[in-house]
């Protein structure tokens, strides 16, 4: 993207949303956002700087006292109205996502449905915002805990599942009584603006939810460095996450990081191979591989390797690319990402990888201008090869052969990441042995490497995060302070 302002006057422009209204960037600069399906200019988005971020934070700070003073039940009722508005406008939201991110329509609709479930769960937390009663060694002393808001929540979301990520962070932040300054993804700006407009229509007070558009540097960085931001939640790359942890940690901000993954998918010799191929393809290729939880390393027992490989190649070659209903995967979100994936595939080839299918951009005229990557299967790489270790965030999977379960576990754990994992086997003993020992925050058996639900904690080990968990009830620990209150009752 660049800030070329010599565009036709009818080009749609996506501004910031501050204090309940559209707000132009103070510097007057705009970024070009292109359609990932055909590389045509789609819109321009505010190229916000630190001044815009400071405006959003000041607005959130002014709105905090009144919002936090509402009872959690009342906050939950307002969030429930937002849920109702999301349901009414689900088709409009899904269409926006489909166009902005290049998702086929059924995938965009599925993302909306997931965001609504997320929102419903946390709206209901208004009636459950739980503490604990505690016993004491002192006679007559009664003690309990309560949850109180942190203050201003700085939320930074990616473009791969934009409305799901917005719901994932916004609803727990708001139900706990925080106000929000959200830095939208530059590749999915309009869905953030539509959601903001929807919250106002549903009755959320002005200033409680604010959106700043633009790039991670400077807009996202300004959100992280501002002393007034009490909690930072970021989903994105491990490199950026490390910087946020360092900068936020220096000023003792609460930081929640959900970062990258190089997730293993293990196929044992007793697996149902057809089911394993089905889930392996979904794990590797759905959403064009743009999932932190993508199953990008498939580890297969030697005795079934050839049979599995043949089935997976056939499945990958059968997948239909495009943005029409029924297509299996669309393009990646921008040209920079497409070129990065193609470069990673070429590096893998140079390091001894054999491209079994895919490996390039499609040549069909209806796809050639977009940011498409053919579903790609690669074998022959060593465990230390770059593509075996590095998250590529595209529809690319590597195959690895092992002799037994112990070797599969060793290879599964041989990366800096530890987000998700899956194993396919008919043996409960094997499944539980692996699930207990694999270095991952989520371990699935006879499923894909993804599949978090609103009430389930999601997060990883190692370079996949900093130990926090969102969503689920554990998200309340990210967005609230826990206070212990005690009182002494004297007889008579």
Residue 85 and residue 83: Cα distance in Å, rounded? Answer: 5
Instruction: Tell me the C-alpha to C-alpha distance, in Å, between residue 121 and each of 76, 152, 167, 471.
Output: 10, 22, 10, 10
Q: β-strands 41-46, 13-14: how paired?
A: parallel
Q: Which segments of 182-325 does DSSP mark as H helices, in order?
A: 189-201, 221-225, 238-250, 273-285, 305-318
Q: β-strands 420-424, 442-445: how paired?
A: parallel
177 near 149, Cβ under 8 Å?
yes
Other Cβ atoms less than 10 A from the Cβ of 65: the count is 9
For residue 355, what are the β-bridge partners? 378
Residue 176 is among the residues annotated as catalytic for this protein: no
Other Cβ atoms less than 10 A from the Cβ of 184: the count is 33
Q: Which of 428, 425, 443, 435 is nearest to 268 (CA)?
A: 425
- Residue among 176, 186, 292, 470 flagged as catalytic: 292
Q: β-strands 297-301, 133-134: how paired?
A: unpaired
Q: Which of 86, 6, 3, 12 is nearest to 42 (CA)?
A: 12
- Strands (DSSP E) found in 157-270: 179-183, 209-212, 229-235, 254-258, 264-267
Residue 292 is among the residues annotated as catalytic for this protein: yes
Residue 230 and residue 232: Cα distance in Å, rounded? Answer: 7
- Residue among 100, 111, 258, 470 flagged as catalytic: 258
> Measured between alpha carbons, how far apart are the two ends of the chain, in Å?
74
120 near 79, Cβ under 8 Å?
no
In the chain, DSSP finds a helix count (H) and a strand count (E) of 15, 22
Residue 41 and residue 35: Cα distance in Å, rounded? Answer: 6
Return phi, psi of residue 148, to 5°.
-130, 150
Burial, 252: exposed, middle or buried (Cβ in 10 Å; 0-12, 13-18, 19+)?
exposed
395 near 359, Cβ under 8 Å?
no
Residue 453 and residue 465: Cα distance in Å, rounded? Answer: 18
Residues serving a catalytic function are 258, 292
């Amino acid at each position: 993207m660049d800030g070329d302002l010599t565009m036709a006057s009818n080009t749609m422009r996506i501004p910031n949303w501050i204090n309940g209204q559209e707000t132009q960037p103070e510097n007057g600069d705009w970024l070009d956002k292109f359609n990932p399906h055909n590389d045509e200019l789609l819109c321009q988005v505010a190229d916000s700087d630190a001044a815009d971020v400071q405006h959003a934070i000041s607005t959130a700070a002014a709105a905090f006292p009144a919002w936090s003073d509402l009872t959690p039940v009342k906050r939950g009722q307002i969030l429930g109205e937002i849920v109702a508005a999301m349901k009414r406008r689900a088709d409009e939201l899904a269409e926006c996502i489909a166009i902005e991110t290049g998702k086929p329509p059924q995938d965009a609709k599925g993302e909306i449905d997931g965001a609504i479930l997320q929102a419903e769960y946390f709206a209901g937390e208004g009636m459950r915002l739980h503490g604990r009663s505690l016993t004491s060694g002192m006679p007559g002393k009664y003690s309990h805990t309560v949850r109180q808001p942190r203050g201003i929540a700085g939320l930074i979301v990616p473009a791969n599942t934009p409305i799901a990520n917005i719901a994932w962070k916004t609803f727990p932040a708001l139900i706990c009584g925080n106000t929000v300054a959200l830095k939208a993804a530059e590749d999915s700006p309009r869905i953030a603006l539509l959601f903001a407009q929807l919250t106002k229509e549903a009755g959320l007070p002005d200033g409680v939810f604010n959106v700043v558009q633009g790039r991670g540097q400077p807009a996202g960085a300004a959100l992280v460095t501002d002393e007034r931001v009490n909690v930072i939640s970021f989903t994105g790359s491990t490199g950026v996450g490390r910087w946020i942890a360092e900068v936020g940690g220096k000023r003792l901000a609460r930081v929640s990081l959900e970062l990258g993954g190089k997730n293993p998918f293990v196929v044992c010799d007793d697996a149902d191979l057809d089911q394993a191929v089905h889930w392996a393809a979904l794990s590797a290729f759905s959403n064009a591989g743009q999932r932190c939880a993508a199953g990008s390393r498939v580890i297969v027992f030697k005795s079934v390797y050839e049979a599995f490989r043949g089935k997976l190649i056939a499945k990958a070659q059968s997948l239909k690319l495009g943005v029409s209903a029924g297509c299996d995967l669309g393009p990646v979100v921008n040209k920079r990402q497409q070129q990065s994936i193609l470069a990673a595939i070429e590096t893998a080839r140079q390091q001894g990888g054999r491209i079994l299918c895919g490996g390039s951009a499609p040549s069909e005229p209806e796809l050639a201008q977009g940011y498409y990557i053919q579903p790609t299967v690669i074998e022959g790489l060593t465990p230390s090869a770059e593509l075996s270790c590095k998250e590529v965030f595209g529809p690319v999977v590597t195959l690895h052969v092992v002799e037994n379960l112990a070797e599969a576990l060793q290879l599964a754990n041989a990366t800096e990441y530890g987000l998700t994992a899956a194993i396919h086997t008919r043996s409960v003993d094997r499944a539980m042995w692996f699930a207990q020992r694999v270095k991952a925050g989520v371990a699935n058996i006879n499923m894909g490497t993804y599949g978090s639900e609103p009430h389930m904690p999601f997060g990883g080990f190692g370079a996949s995060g900093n130990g926090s968990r969102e969503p689920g009830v554990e998200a309340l620990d990210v967005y609230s302070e826990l206070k212990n209150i005690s009182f002494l009752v004297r007889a008579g």
